[in-house]
Amino acid sequence: MNISSNTYRGRFAPSPTGPLHFGSLVAAVGSYLDARSHDGEWLIRIEDLDPPREVYGASREILDTLKTLGMESDAPVIYQSGRSSTYESVLADLNRGRHIYPCACSRKEITDSTPGGHIYPGTCRNGLPPDRNPRSLRVKVNEADIRFIDRLYGKIRQQLDLTVGDFVVRRADQLTAYQLAVVVDDARQNITHVVRGSDLLDSTPRQIHLQRLLGYPVPEYLHLPIAVNASGEKLSKQTGATAVTTIKPSRILTVVLEFLGQKPPRDLRDSTLAEFWQWGIENWDPARIPVKQSLPAPE
């Protein structure tokens, strides 16, 4: 793929639900190396849109860990919690275009009314049923195939009406849904390349749908393999992933490189941070990234 170096702008967008763990470090390092190896810019955005899931102090801790590992944002860090008026104005645009509508359904009602419970059946699409109050806002999807080429996973296609249905852009608790916020911010920050975990591969067609409705450019996508624990579960706060240790920065960073299929020399573990990044940027080769999930190798 031909990526023009002067137009590259990437980002790392952690949710502050806990300290940086190995799984999120993979996305940080992958996005950073991809940006730097294209002489691009790299931004950090804190996705703190969900106060119930947020852990006090986690944003600071994540930023401090990244700094200790030599990764700093090229622009002031953006916090989604401060951007609700922007999201509301985008919702107003979508409303003017009749792309969204209020929905009264609870999650349980949807699960109970559809086999598998995953696809919204369109209950409120043509108006709220009598005596029901609006809870969330949903965006309409259609039968068009959403197609894109992921730089690792190749051709992806999804028909949203058959797989998700009209989806939530403002939640019942009135918080902006991740799918909308991420699209608005990637566009407002002029992000050209999204590099993140493959657990979000499935969200990308929804995001492309919103980008099209809003007239935003569609960035390039590279989804990275996700790190799993010994039970095959994605490393996350919920599965008990622990904070990365930064006492020997080059050591943990080299483990990440190996996880991403790169072939660092053995002694990179003992190098200085400057030497580590120099090697990493010069030798970054996305073609080596493995497609499957894996366990991080011991340090």
Residues found near ligand GLU in the complex (CB under 6 A): 13-15, 47, 182, 196, 200
Minimum Å distance from CB 220 to ligand GLU? Answer: 13
Minimum Å distance from CB 53 to ligand GLU? Answer: 10
CB 49 within 8 A of CB 84: no
Burial class (CB in 10 A: 0-12, 13-18, 19+), 188: middle
Minimum Å distance from CB 78 to ligand GLU? Answer: 12
Distance, CA of 235 to CA of 242 (rounded, Å): 9
Exposure b/e, 36-53, CB count within 10 A at least 16 = b: bbbebbbbbbbbbbbeee
Minimum Å distance from CB 196 to ligand GLU? Answer: 4
Question: In the beta sheet, which residues pair with residue 250?
Answer: none
Nearest to 184 by CA among 97, 103, 89, 43: 89
| Shorter beta-carbon distance to ligand GLU: residue 198 or 250 | 198
Minimum Å distance from CB 115 to ligand GLU? Answer: 28
| Shorter beta-carbon distance to ligand GLU: residue 15 or 176 | 15
Distance, CA of 61 to CA of 294 (rounded, Å): 26
136-139 vs 167-170, strand pairing mode: antiparallel
Minimum Å distance from CB 31 to ligand GLU? Answer: 8
| Shorter beta-carbon distance to ligand GLU: residue 13 or 244 | 13
Distance, CA of 90 to CA of 244 (rounded, Å): 37
| Shorter beta-carbon distance to ligand GLU: residue 30 or 165 | 30
CB 8 within 8 A of CB 192: yes
9-12 vs 41-46, strand pairing mode: parallel
Question: In the beta sheet, which residues pair with residue 283?
Answer: none
Minimum Å distance from CB 26 to ligand GLU? Answer: 12
Q: How many CA atoms lie within 13 A of 123 on its CB side?
A: 21
| Shorter beta-carbon distance to ligand GLU: residue 212 or 263 | 212
| Shorter beta-carbon distance to ligand GLU: residue 14 or 280 | 14
| Shorter beta-carbon distance to ligand GLU: residue 53 or 132 | 53
Give how far the C-alpha of residue 110 lies from the chain's centroid of Cα atoms, to the nearest Å: 26
| Shorter beta-carbon distance to ligand GLU: residue 14 or 296 | 14
Minimum Å distance from CB 272 to ligand GLU? Answer: 29
